[in-house]
Amino acid sequence: MVAMFKKMALFIFSGVLLVSISGCIALLAGGAAGGGTAIWLSNKLTQEFNAPYEQTINAVKEALRSFNLEITKESKEADVAQIKSKYTDGKEIWVDIRKVTERSTKVEVRVGAVKPDKEAAAKILKRIGRYL
C-alpha cells in the first residue's frame, strides 16, 4: 500500500516537473526569438526587442511620426528613456524604453490615462517593431 502511494506521488511530481520545465523552455524560446509576444500589465503593453537602446529610441520616434503624432516630451538617461505624444482626441501616449543589455531593450506603451486603450498601444508597439 505504501509503495503504491510512493509511485503515485512520484508520478504526480514528475508531471508537475515536466509542465514546469516545458513552460520555461517555451518562455526562453519566445524571448530568444526576437521579442516574443507583448504582455498587458499595469495598463501598459510591454515587449522586449533584440535591438540596442539607441536604435529602439529612434524606432519609437519613427513609429510615432508614421502615425502623424507629434512628440510632446522626451527624456533620456543612460539606460531609460520616455517619449510622450498625444492623439488628436487628446488621449496621451507614454512610451518607456529600458536598456536590458547592450543588444536588447524593453518597451512599454500606455495610451490613455483614465481608461487605457490596449488596442491603440498594440498598434504603436507593432509599428515600433517594424522600425527595428
Looking at the structure, give the CATH architecture of the domain made up of residues 34-131.
2-Layer Sandwich (3.30)
CA atoms of 71 and 69, how far apart (whole Å) = 7
What would the grid cell of residue 114 be? 483614465
- As a whole number, mean pLDDT of residues 54-83 equals 96
CA end-to-end span of the chain, whole Å? Answer: 61
pTM over 0.85: no
The answer to whether 97 touches 83, Cβ cutoff 8 Å, is yes
pLDDT for the residue numbered 58:
97
Per-residue pLDDT band for 23 (boundaries 50, 70, 90) equals: very low
